[in-house]
């Protein structure tokens, strides 16, 4: 996983903010992907990828699941 991959996922989240449940699910999926790639050793820069992924916390949408 690369920082570029994460930025692409963040744009997907940003684009789905009109449906908070989808945005939240996508955000959680991103976090799982980042953690898995760090655990697998396939993350190109774990610190930077983690920092980039956490930027979704600044997105203003209601986080919930049905």
What pLDDT digit, counting tens, does each position of 15-35 carry? 999 999 999 999 999 999 999
Q: Contact 9/30 with Cβ under 8 angstroms?
A: yes
Confidence grade of residue 56 (pLDDT, cut at 50, 70, 90): very high
Q: By C-alpha distance, which of 29, 45, 36, 39 is closest to 10?
A: 29
Residue 18 lies in a domain: yes
Residue 65 lies in a domain: no
Sign of CA dihedral 5, 9, 46, 36: negative
Is the pLDDT at 63 greater than 90? The verdict is yes
Taking the alpha carbons at both ends of the chain, their separation in whole angstroms is 30
Residue 39 lies in a domain: yes
Residue 35 lies in a domain: yes
Q: Provide the CB-side half-sphere exposure for 13 (13 A, CA).
A: 26
Residue 16 lies in a domain: yes
Residue 31 lies in a domain: yes
Q: Give residue 12's domain range.
A: 3-58
The total of structural domains in the chain comes to 1
Residue 27 lies in a domain: yes
Q: Please give the pLDDT value at position 37.
A: 98
Residue 28 lies in a domain: yes
Mean per-residue pLDDT for 39-53? 98
Mean per-residue pLDDT for 35-55? 98
């Amino acid at each position: 996983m690369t920082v570029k991959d994460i930025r692409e996922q963040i744009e997907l989240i940003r684009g789905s903010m009109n449906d908070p449940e989808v945005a939240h699910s996508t955000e959680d999926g991103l976090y799982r992907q980042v953690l898995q790639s760090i655990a697998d050793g396939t993350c190109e820069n774990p610190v930077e990828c983690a920092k980039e992924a956490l930027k979704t916390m600044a997105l203003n949408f209601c986080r919930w699941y049905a």
